[in-house]
Structure formats: structure tokens, C-alpha cells
Amino acid sequence: MASSLTVNLEKLAKYVNIGIPLLCISFFLAGHYYSFYFHFLTVTFFLATAINFYYRHVQKTHSLLSNFGFVAQGRYLIESIGPELRQYLFTNDTEERPFNRAERAEVYRKAKGIDSSSAFGSLLQFDGSEYKLRHSLYPVDKKNIKPYSLTFGEERGIKHAYTMHKPIIISAMSYGALGKNAVRALARGARKAGILMNTGEGGYPKYHLMEGAELIFQMGTAKFGVRHEDGSLSEEKLRSLAQQPQIKMIEVKLSQGAKPGKGGLLPKEKITQEISELRGVPQGEDVVSPPHHIECTDAESTIRFIKRVQDISALPVGIKLCLGREDEFRELIQAMKRLDVFPDYISIDGAEGGTGAAPKAFMDDLGTPLFQALPRVHQMLKDESVRDKLKLLAAGKLINPGKQFMALSLGAQACYTARGFMFSLGCIQALQCNNNTCPVGITTHNRHLQQGLDIEVKSERVKNYIQQIEHDYYELLSALGKESFDKLSHKNVLFPTS
Ligand SMILES: Cc1cc2nc3c(=O)[nH]c(=O)nc-3n(C[C@H](O)[C@H](O)[C@H](O)COP(=O)(O)O)c2cc1C
């Protein structure tokens, strides 16, 4: 198959290479003898001949162009639009990655408030390769279900403990990775629906605060917004930020599923003047955060740093990490016990998590996927008798209630999602978050592209998405025969057999 394609391409290239100059000469003669207007075509084919000559005999970087000239451009063109062709024409509803069309469509329907019931049968696999939920023979009447509530900081008895009433939070996405309109629409939606939003590691959360959302301020390894010049923590800046009434918790990011062992990355294309001011970084170069907090070099120094942040902020303080080596995680728990210091929550980010930008090897090959990490972390905390000292959160492709319920059954007490909320804003999975060219205006600072994202309309979608998820939660809880969220356990999960 491949060789016949090569032969055809060779023949075609030969015809084109001879044909273009011949056409150029023909149009020249026609222009000379018949009509001057033929010279427009003469010029066109002359340019084509020159370009073809350049491809074949001057440039040395592309072998295909050297060997086949113009014809090879067709391959580059088709390759460049391949993802779109596959997305729109060739892949079926359950094939695409990271999220297939069926998964995305469920979010779109929820966000638009459209009835999400379907007919005929599920499109998913039932061959033992997927996680499923186990229902009960004795569903519970929804009237008897205890409403969800979770209080962070209650274990330490702090004054500013925070209670949330829905087990879902908008996961960290910085202003920088997201454009202004996207941040504002998410923050407004979060306020309307009454859920928390994580600011991401983008520094001072100007647009989040503007929309009145309740926030988890994330401190990434570069500590944008609360740093000294040398990257260490500015206690003064953290104290003053934590005093803002909308800031309810602080999250110290140790690592992220999509790029564990690597700090945040904001490509230079996305650093506007405002972002450079909010983060305190120069324009015109990529901003690469350090791989770890300079204060955290081992288990004890990490736990001491968390204690410092708890003391300065007087708020609940959580940590976010992707599970790597289990021995290191166990050491972290043991250091907590030794120092009698516990973060108020641990958020487990699965290796399948998303990112605004990351090296491919990190995205593809590093870290533990959520459904492997979460039960292990839950069990290790139990083994060390500290499970009741903190809350456990989870993220990693939990964009729909079914998967979120699996995480809640495997030990999580609330779920984070980032890309679920991006879909609720209208993300079409164009995979261009790092290029500033997001066609639906979410991960771009291009004014023209952002225009398409109407803050009020999209904030309603965010609100709808949250409300419909909440509705499904109570339906599922009833089917699983549970009267409250804290009764969920791994027994509610059917594990893959293949
Ligand atoms: C555009 C984008 C930006 C992100 N920015 C951050 C960030 O600033 N800090 C962070 O800890 N995680 C960041 N993440 C990771 C998410 O917070 C989340 O942990 C991960 O995507 C898993 O959730 P999901 O599978 O529901 O998207 C980002 C993800 C995306 C898609």
C-alpha cells in the first residue's frame, strides 16, 4: 500500500514539476499572441515554478519537499487539517481523546439545560474493560437523603473553617492559561451556583474577585501573587490576600497530574502586559515555574511549610499532588504524624489530568492515573490511622456525574474538574490551549477570539452544568441505596476485569 502510494506520488510530482513551467510558457505565449490578460496566469505560474524550484533545489530542511516539490505541500496541508477531519468526519462518538464526543455531549447538554436522557442503549463498553457503579436492590427515597456538606478545617477547629454544600469545585486554571472572559464566566457561574473556584497559579485573582466567587487561592511553585523576588514566600502578601473575604482556602500545589515534577508553563504568546504585571514576570519569554517550592525539599520541610501557610493565612490549607512514588507519599504521612501537622485536604490529581501547556513526555508517561492513585492514597491514610485528620479531593477526567461518583466511592469527598467546566463554556477540544489561538475564546487573550465568549450567557451554562450534576448526584445516590454521601464506599464500584 505504502509503496504504491510512493510510486503514484512520484509520478504526480514529475507531471507537476514539468507541467508548471510548461503552463507558464504556454500562458506567456498566449498573452503575447492573443490577449494580455493571459499574463495574469503567466505571473501565477511563474511564481509557482520559482517556489517549486526553491522547494526542490534550495531548501534542505524538508526531505519531502526536496523530493516531490509542490505535491508534498498537499500532504502537509492534509496533515495539518487531519485532527479536524477526524473530529468532524471520521471518528465515531466514543473514539476521540482525551474526551470522546459522547462524554462532551453530556456536558454540553447539561450546560444548555437540555434533558440528558437518551434512547435505545448506551454507547459505552460492557465487556469488563470499564469501571461501573453498583446499584442497590433497595433504592433510597430521595426525600430521605441527607444533603451534602463538607467542612474544611474542622479537624483543627479553626475559626475560618469552610463548609461547602456541593461536592464539586472548579479546578485550578490560571488567568493566563485562560483568557479574561473565560475566568469571569466561570467565576460568575460559580457564584450563581454557590460553589468554590480554584484560582490556579496565576497570581493576584483580579477577575475572580471581580465576579464575587468564593475562592481557593492556589500557590504554585513560583508563588505568583505571594512571592519575594527570589521565589520564596512573602508572608506579608499571603496574609493580606488571605484577609480578602472571598478567599476561603489556600492550596499549595506540589505537583499536577499532566506534568508531575515540572512547574507551571506559560508560553510567551500568552503573556500580555496585564498578566506580566499580575504575576510579576517579563513579557516576551516563556514563564517556567520551578519544579518544586524552594521551601519543600523533603517530607518534613514540606509539612513545616504547610504549617507556616496555615499559620499565616488562618484559613484551611490543602495540598495538590499527583501520586508518584508510594514510599515518598507514605513518608509524607509519617512526617505529618511526627510533627502533628496535617493539611486540611489533599487533592489527588490523576496523571490523565489536563494542562494549559506541558511537555508531551510528561503528559503521556508520568504519574499515577486517578483510579489507581485514589484508593491507594485513601488506604495509606487509613493504614496510618490519619484518614480522619483531613479531607480527600480528586481530579482527573471527572467531567460527568458517573465518573465523579466513582471517585466519591473510592475515597474522595469532593471532586474537582477543570475540563468539564471548559466544556460547559463551549470548549470544542481543539487542543490549542498553548497557542493563544483557542477558536472559542477560552484559552486565549486574542480580543477577537474572546468576543465569542459572552460572559453572562456562559456563566448561565456553568450554573446549569453544576445544577444538573447535583441533580444527577441525588438520583445516583438513591439508586445506590445510600442515604448520604459519606456512606459511599469502594463496594459501590465494579472494577474492570480486563
Ligand atoms: C487550561 C488548563 C489550565 C490549568 N491550570 C492549572 C493551574 O494553574 N494549576 C494547577 O494546579 N492545575 C492546572 N490545571 C490542571 C487542572 O486543575 C486539573 O487538575 C486537571 O486538568 C484535571 O482535571 P480535569 O481532568 O477535570 O481537567 C489546568 C488544566 C487546564 C486544562
99, 103, 173, best to mutate for ligand 1 pocket (most atoms within 8 Å of CB): 173
How far, in Å, from the CA of 354 to the mean position of ligand 1? 5
**Ligand 1 neighbourhood includes 395 CB (under 6 angstroms):** yes
| C-alpha 422 – ligand 1 centre gap (Å) | 10
Query: What angle separates helix 326-339 from helix 299-313, to the nearest 10 degrees?
Result: 50
- The answer to whether the CB of 356 is under 6 A from ligand 1 is yes
Name all domains of the chain by residue range, CATH numbers in brackets: 2-80 (no CATH), 132-494 (3.20.20.70)
Query: Which of 377, 407, 413, 415 is CA-nearest to residue 490?
Result: 407
Q: Is the CB of 201 under 6 A from ligand 1?
A: yes
Q: Which atom of ligand 1 is nearest to the CA of 198?
A: 17
> 419 CB under 6 A from ligand 1?
yes
Instruction: Give the position, in ligand 1's atom list, of the atom nearest the Cα of 253.
Output: 11
Nearest-atom index, ligand 1, CA of 178: 1
Report whether residue 279 contacts ligand 1, using a CB cutoff of 6 Å: no
**Cα–ligand 1 centroid distance for 214 (angstroms):** 18
Pocket flag, ligand 1, residue 492 (CB < 6 Å) = no
* Cα 355 to middle of ligand 1, angstroms: 5
What per-residue confidence (pLDDT) applies to 88? 77
First to last CA, the chain: 34
Express the helix, strand and coil content of the chain in percent, nearest 5 each. 45, 10, 40
Return the ∠ at Cα 275 (arms to 269 and 281), rounded to 5°: 85
Testing ligand 1's pocket by substitution, the residue of 171, 279, 404 carrying the most ligand atoms inside 8 A of its CB is 171
Give 370 Cα–ligand 1 centroid separation in angstroms.
14
Ligand 1 and 265: CB distance under 6 A? no
Instruction: Check pocket membership of 263 for ligand 1, CB cut-off 6 A.
Output: no
453: Cβ contacts below 8 Å, ≥ 6 apart? 179, 181, 182, 185, 425, 426, 440, 441, 442
pLDDT value, residue 2: 44
Ligand 1 site-directed mutation target among 256, 287, 347, 366, most atoms within 8 Å of CB: 256
Q: Is 397 in the pocket of ligand 1 (CB under 6 A)?
A: yes
Written as one string, the DSSP assignment of 393-406 is EEESS--SHHHHHH
Whole-Å CA distances, 372 to 58, 162, 396, 400, 490: 53, 29, 11, 19, 12
Which ligand 1 atom is nearest residue 421's CA?
26
Q: How does pLDDT run along the chain (498 residues), one tens digit per residue?
A: 444 455 577 888 889 999 999 999 999 999 999 999 999 999 999 999 999 999 999 998 888 898 889 888 888 888 878 777 777 777 778 888 899 999 999 999 999 999 778 889 998 889 999 999 999 999 999 999 999 999 999 999 999 999 999 999 999 999 999 999 999 999 999 999 999 999 999 999 999 999 999 999 999 999 999 999 888 999 999 999 999 999 999 999 999 999 999 998 888 988 999 999 888 888 888 888 999 999 999 999 999 999 999 999 999 999 999 999 999 999 999 999 999 999 999 999 999 999 999 999 999 999 999 999 999 999 999 999 999 999 999 999 999 999 999 999 999 999 999 999 999 999 999 999 999 999 999 999 999 999 999 999 999 999 999 999 999 999 999 999 999 999 999 999 999 997
Protein residue with its CA nearest to atom 22 in ligand 1: 353
Q: Is 320 in the pocket of ligand 1 (CB under 6 A)?
A: yes
Residue nearest (by alpha carbon) to ligand 1 atom 1: 356
Element (H, E) at 277: helix 273-279
Look at residue 203 in the predicted model and tell me its pLDDT.
93
List the grid coordinates of 478: 438513591
